[in-house]
Each structure stands twice: as C-alpha cells, then as structure tokens.
C-alpha cells in the first residue's frame, strides 16, 4: 500500500533534532503561525551539550533538551500556549481530545506503538510515542491521524476507536497536548526573539572537543566500535537538525541575513559527517583521517558563525 504522505517541509521538520512529539507539534504550528521561525532562536546548541547527552551520559537522542524545548516565553511571543494534560484512560480523555480537534484541528496524545498496525513494533515491542489525531467520524467510529511511516515521514492513517483507546490506555505516559494560537504583534515578537537570542549568545560556550577529539572518542576502549559509531551518528543528527532549525531563525532576522549562508554550509558539513558515520554504524569502521579533517572543517565553520553572530 502506498503511503499517504502529509504535506509539510519534510527536510526541515524531520526527526534529526526534533523528537516525535516536538516534530508533530511544530508541523501543526507551522500551518498556523507565520512567525514560527522566531521560536527557533535557542537552536544554537553547543556540540558539548550534544556530546555529553548522547555519548558521555548515554541518554537517548529523543530526550535531548526534552524539558527545555517548549519555552513558554518563546511560544507566548508568537501567540501560542501549550496545553499538556494527564488522563487515566482514553474514555476520560476523549471529550478533551474532541474539543481540541474542534478548536485547533488536532490533538497529540502519548500512546504505545505496540497497538498500531503501521508501526514496526506492532504486537512486538512496547514503545512510548505520540500521534496526531486530526478527526473523528462518529458514524464509522474511526479516527484520522498523522504518524511516522517507516522512513519517519508523517503520513495519514485511519483506525477504529478501539485501536486508539488500546494504544492510549496501555501507554506509560497518558497525556494529551495541543497548542492554541491567538493574535500577537509581529514586530514585538521579532524584537523579543532578537533580545532573547542576544542573551543566549552572550552565554554561549563550546569547547568543540567533539570536533577536535573525534579520533580519541572513536578509539575509546570502553565502547565497542559499532556502538560508538551509532552514538556519534546520533550526535551529528542532533547537530544537523539543530542548525537546520537555527537557520530558520537566522533567516527571520534581517541583520543576520548574511549568516544564513554560513549556517547552510554547517548543515551540509554535518550531513557529510553523518553519511560517513552511517557507514561506520554498519561496519564498525570509518576512514578516520577523512572524518577528522571533516570535523576540523566543521569547527572552523562553527567558529566563523559565532564570530559573525557576535559582530555588532
């Protein structure tokens, strides 16, 4: 069966940087909030923080900045509030879900993919996930929804209510989220985002040890070669995706417009490194001199970006 792909910016809003909940929320907001790029002012995250999270602390990539991403002040600037409510059962949550769909066009519940036929984990593995419910047909008792296909691209699906109820009721986190939008002053929003970014930039630090010490990281005797390649692939996925989102913010700031080309170059360099590490994930080996040279080039581009951003 051919996938019914949902129309959105697949390359920008992928799962490199954004986890399932974040990506689904952002895709919905992108349809309703013209100045959404202002929200990405805080996506200039340091390589140190990504390395620490994935490699040193061994925390899954999807949990990176999980508690910090939905900055309420950044949302408020563009007229958005986040609703995130806990429930005990689907029956208890249903009316809230229906109300949210009627109000903003969707609701995002946390569910267990074990019960969803399109997921690889169907009746095989319990995994916490989110889906985006977009409509309920009372006559047929079916929900329309958006979720990842096997390539992590958002597609349309439809399931009987009993399937959604089972996925929700058996999840470890039974929350429902949606993002009401309202009016805002676009000029004030832009100024507020610029001020918030300037504060972030003032405190921004990065040792770039990921980029200067990639060889030593790969050679660690305490992690198997294939495992370290997988971890580093996840680090550079975060790197790539964070800079792609940051490019959206930079492009929204006229005084930073010339920095956009530097950020685009960084994104492409990250993707080249990811491609090398993808081979490493399969084989446990990479061309280390080539990888080290690419990382040093990326370090130079990152330093050039920070220098430009800090220039009056």
Give one DSSP letter per residue of 63-87, joined into a string: GTTTTTSS-HHHHHHTTB--EEEE-
* Polymer length of the chain: 312
- pLDDT of 284 reads 86
Give the 3-state secondary structure of residue 66.
coil
Tokens of 42: 């805080």
Question: Residue 312 carries which DSSP code?
Answer: -
Reported as a single tens digit per residue, the pLDDT across 127-152 is 999 999 999 999 999 999 999 999 99
CA distance 116 to 174: 16
pLDDT tens digit sequence for 45-92 = 999 999 999 999 999 999 998 778 999 999 999 999 999 999 999 999
Sequence-separated (6 or more) residues with CB below 8 Å from residue 150: 120
pLDDT band at 2 (very low <50, low <70, confident <90, very high): confident
Which segments of 72-151 does DSSP mark as H helices, in order?
72-77, 90-104
* pLDDT(1) > 70: no
DSSP code of 284? S
First to last CA, the chain: 55
Give the pLDDT confidence score for residue 204 in this predicted structure: 96
CA angle (230 as vertex; 224, 235 as ends), nearest 5? 125
The reply to whether CATH 1.10.3470 applies to domain 20-32+83-178 is no
Q: What is the mean pLDDT of the chain?
A: 96
Q: Which two tokens stand for residue 130?
A: 């989110």
Please determine, for residue 312, whether its predicted confidence score (pLDDT) is greater than 80: no
Mean pLDDT of 208-212: 98
Record the pTM. 0.94
Residues 300/301/303/306 CA torsion (nearest 10 deg)? 180
Judge whether residue 208 has pLDDT over 70.
yes
Question: What per-residue confidence (pLDDT) applies to 80?
Answer: 98
The two tokens of residue 44 are: 């200039």
User: Which of 38, 49, 176 lies closest to 100, judged by CA?
Assistant: 176
- Residue identified by tokens 């903003």 is 104
Please tell me the predicted confidence (pLDDT) of residue 257.
87
CA 73 to chain centre: 19
pLDDT at 120 over 60: yes
Per-domain boundaries in the chain: 20-32+83-178, 40-76+185-310
Average pLDDT of the residues in 228-239:
97
Alpha carbons 190 and 109: distance in angstroms, whole number:
31
- Write down the pLDDT at residue 65: 83
Beta bridge partners of 111: 129
Dihedral sign computed on CA atoms, order 18, 24, 25, 31:
positive
Strand partners, 5: 155
For residues 293 and 123, give the distance between their C-alpha atoms in angstroms, rounded to a whole number: 45
């Amino acid at each position: 069966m051919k996938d019914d792909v949902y129309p959105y910016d697949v390359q920008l809003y992928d799962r490199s940087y954004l986890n399932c909940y974040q990506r689904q929320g952002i895709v919905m907001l992108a349809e309703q909030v013209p100045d959404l790029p202002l929200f990405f002012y805080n996506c200039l995250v340091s390589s140190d923080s990504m390395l620490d999270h994935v490699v040193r602390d061994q925390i899954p990539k999807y949990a990176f900045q999980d508690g910090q991403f939905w900055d309420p002040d950044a949302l408020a600037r563009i007229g958005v509030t986040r609703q995130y409510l806990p429930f005990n059962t689907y029956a208890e949550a249903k009316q809230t879900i229906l109300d949210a769909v009627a109000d903003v066009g969707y609701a995002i519940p946390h569910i267990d993919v074990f019960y969803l036929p399109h997921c690889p984990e169907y009746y095989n593995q319990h995994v916490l996930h989110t889906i985006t419910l977009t409509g309920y047909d009372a006559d047929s008792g079916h929900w329309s929804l958006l979720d990842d296909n096997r390539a992590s691209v958002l597609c349309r699906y439809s399931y009987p209510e009993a399937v959604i109820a089972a996925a929700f009721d058996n999840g470890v986190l039974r929350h429902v989220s949606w993002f009401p939008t309202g009016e805002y002053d676009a000029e004030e929003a832009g100024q507020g985002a610029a001020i918030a970014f300037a504060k972030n930039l003032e405190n921004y630090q990065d040792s770039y040890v990921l980029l200067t010490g990639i060889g030593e990281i790969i050679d660690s005797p305490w992690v198997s070669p294939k495992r370290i390649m997988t971890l580093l692939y996840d680090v550079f996925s975060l790197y790539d995706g964070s800079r792609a989102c940051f490019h959206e913010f930079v492009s929204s700031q006229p005084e930073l417009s010339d920095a956009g080309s530097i950020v685009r170059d960084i994104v492409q360099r990250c993707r080249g490194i990811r491609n090398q590490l993808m081979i490493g994930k399969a084989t446990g080996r990479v061309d280390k001199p080539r990888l080290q040279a690419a990382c040093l080039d990326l370090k130079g581009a990152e330093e050039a970006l920070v220098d430009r951003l800090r220039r009056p």
